[in-house]
């Protein structure tokens, strides 16, 4: 199975604002779709996060994309919409001390995000599929199937409006197992002469 992992366009939001599940508008998806469409094989199904910044790009890429709640960005709970510098330092320190399991007040942990994203991929048909989603979801999927330590996958730089191709190895038939994968490219932007 080849997964084309696509990050949504840049949100129309001030820098420094925590916006995981916050449903914010993003830049025009049409130019991004025009750049990325040639990288997708014909008839590739497109599945999107229901958040508008991803959903609008999915609709620009495919006439009938589907949505899956499990592809939403991490839920930062009470932190959503607040500036990072307004969040209590002790809470940010607690998160830094346990990136995988810390739960922001009213939110979810990275481990919970990872479990639902892996579950989503496990329910996909064993064929090419494009997922239009968020940096957090893409990072946890890459970390899981490439067997990267959290210090590596949690810091992967993923450009807005980019595509990453991950091919899952044929294994025991359960895509949730993380039996290995091949990363073909990361952060490809598409378009003429782009990498």
Alpha-carbon distances, residue 126 vs 30, 142, 168, 186 (angstroms): 28, 18, 10, 21
Residue 141 has a CB neighbour count (10 Å cut-off) of 26
Three-state DSSP class for residue 1:
coil
* Sequence-ordered list of residues with C-beta below 8 angstroms from that of 61, at least 6 positions apart, any chain: 6, 33, 36, 37, 40, 46, 130, 132
* Sequence-ordered list of residues with C-beta below 8 angstroms from that of 177, at least 6 positions apart, any chain: 171
**What mean pLDDT value characterizes the chain?**
92
Q: Is residue 172 pLDDT above 80, yes or no?
A: no
195: confidence class by pLDDT, cuts 50, 70, 90 = very low
Distance CA 114, CA 176 (A): 11
126: confidence class by pLDDT, cuts 50, 70, 90 = confident
> 101 and 115 in contact (C-beta within 8 Å)?
no
Q: Is residue 28 pLDDT above 90, yes or no?
A: yes
* Prediction pTM value: 0.93
């Amino acid at each position: 199975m080849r997964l084309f992992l696509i990050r949504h366009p840049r949100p129309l939001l001030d820098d420094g604002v925590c916006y995981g599940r916050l449903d914010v508008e993003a830049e025009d998806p049409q130019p991004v779709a025009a750049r990325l469409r040639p990288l997708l094989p014909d008839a590739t199904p497109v599945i999107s996060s229901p958040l508008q910044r991803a959903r609008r790009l999915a609709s620009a890429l495919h006439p009938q994309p589907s949505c899956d709640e499990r592809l939403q960005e991490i839920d930062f709970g009470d932190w959503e919409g607040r500036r990072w510098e307004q969040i209590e330092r002790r809470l940010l320190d607690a998160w830094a001390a346990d990136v995988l399991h810390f739960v922001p007040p009213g939110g979810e942990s990275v481990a919970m995000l990872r479990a639902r994203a892996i579950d989503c991929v496990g329910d996909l048909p064993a064929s090419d599929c494009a997922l239009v989603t968020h940096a957090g979801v893409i990072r946890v999927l890459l970390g899981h199937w490439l067997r990267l330590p959290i210090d590596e996958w949690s810091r992967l730089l993923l450009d807005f409006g980019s595509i990453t191709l991950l091919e899952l190895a044929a294994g025991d038939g359960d895509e949730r197992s993380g039996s290995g994968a091949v990363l073909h490219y990361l952060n490809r932007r598409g378009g003429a002469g782009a990498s």
